[in-house]
Every structure is written in C-alpha cells, then in structure tokens.
Structure 1
Amino acid sequence: MHNLDAMNPPRWTPISENRLYELLDESCQLMTDELRHLWQLIHLRHAEIWQQRPWADEGCGFWVVATFSRSCIYFNDLSQSFALSQFDRWGNIMEFDPTSRSLTELLTSLLAEPQTA
C-alpha cells in the first residue's frame, strides 16, 4: 500500500516543460556512457503529457520522457523525481510509482535487472 491516500491525492503544481528539459539535460551530464546509450535508445524526442488517474488529474497529467516495451518513465511531480510504470495504451500510465529516484538511478536499476530471453 502506498503511503499516499488514494482518495485524497495531495495538491501540486506540474513542472514546466522548460524545467523538465533542464532536469533531463542535468541528468544526461551525469550519465555514464552505458546509461547514455540506454537513454538514447528509449527516450522520447519530445516529452508528452500522459494521464495517470487519480494522481495526475490535478496537473492534467505527468510528463513521460521515455518508453520501452510496455513501460514508461515519467516525471512524478508529487515526489519531484522520475518514476517507472507500465502503460496499457499510449497516453495512459497504469500505476502510480511513489518511489523517489533520479533519472540516472532509475536507468541504473533497469540495467541491473536480469534480462529474460
């Protein structure tokens, strides 16, 4: 169970597109070559606002910055960090991820996951 009350999501202000791109640029500067290569493979050329109910309703969605398989990486305005979730259709984040991670931490965790054939 998440430590956030699903019936009363907290109030928040969405990150601006300019600030999002500043964070992405800062993150890219900290990436190893391996992480940068992964990022180049999965990032969206232009971040997109996707829905995630009920958490993203107040800000009209969360910015999705990368996709792979049926997963997406998005900026979670509530935790002010990057998050990972599955998506069921383009534009809809299925689950809220309350974990607070930098983009480099999230990408590192993806590389550490065992690969299945």
Structure 2
Amino acid sequence: MIWEPITLQELSSEILKGEKEMTSENLKFWNYIKFTPTKWNEREYGDEGGGFWVVAKYKNFVLYYNDIEDGFNISEFEKDGEIKEYGAEQDELQYALIKFRKLIEFKS
C-alpha cells in the first residue's frame, strides 16, 4: 500500500471526532488555541507529504497531525511555518490536547 498524505477533509473529520470526546474545560481551551489547519514544514520526515497539518498554537508550541504515524503530536517552534521536533505519537486529538495543556502548565 502506498502512503498518501491526509486530506484536509479527512483531518477535519479527525478533529470533529476529537472535539466530541473533549471535556467542557478542554473544549474551551481547544477553542482558544485552535486555528484553521495549515501545513508547516518539518525537516526530518515532513517533506514527502508537503509538511504536517498544524491545528493549534500556544506560545511557542504547536499541536499538529502526523499523517505518517496517524496521530496528533506536540512540538516547539521558533518561527511560524516550521515544526521543530518530529513526533511519532499516535494520539487522538482529545488525548494530545491533554498532554499539550500539561506541557504548557509545566513550562509556565
């Protein structure tokens, strides 16, 4: 089977599925940090699919979908458009968001 990058429509379905599973507190945070999914570059593995879909940003961290691993991941970034660290987690959105919140709270 040949790997194909996830489409925006498929990603939107993944996001909707995750939103339905979020607690009200997490959904409120999600609504604060999310934005229209945008492809960002990632130097290690992102070239083949034209980058990875970043779905949320807070301070110097992003939440993105790694369609090679089929899951949401977290990375720092130094400038918009570039994911700093490759992540191979296979988390659904609602679980990645919990990790994202904990990381931000820890770093604050």
Tell me if structure 1 keeps the 8 A contact 2:56–2:62.
yes
Report the more deviating stretch, 97-106 or 77-86: 97-106
Amino acid at match of 2:22: M
Counterpart of 2:93? Answer: 103
Q: CA 1:16–1:111 in structure 2 vs 1: closer, same or farther (change >3 Å)?
A: same
User: Which structure 1 residue ranges, 5 or more long, are not aligned?
Assistant: 1-10
State TM-score, norm by structure 2: 0.90
Q: CA 1:112–1:85 in structure 2 vs 1: closer, same or farther (change >3 Å)?
A: closer
User: Which structure 2 residue ranges, 5 or more long, are not aligned?
Assistant: none
Aligned alpha-carbon RMSD (Å) = 1.6
Larger gyration radius, structure 1 or structure 2: 1
Amino acid at match of 1:86: E
Distance in 1 separating the partners of 2:28 and 2:56: 13
Bigger proportion of residues as helix: 2
Match of 1:93, SS state, is coil
Counterpart of 2:5? Answer: 14
Distance in 2 separating the partners of 1:116 and 1:14: 32
Identity of aligned residues (%): 29
Match of 2:77, SS state, is strand
Alignment partner of 1:53 is 2:21: no
The aligned length equals 106
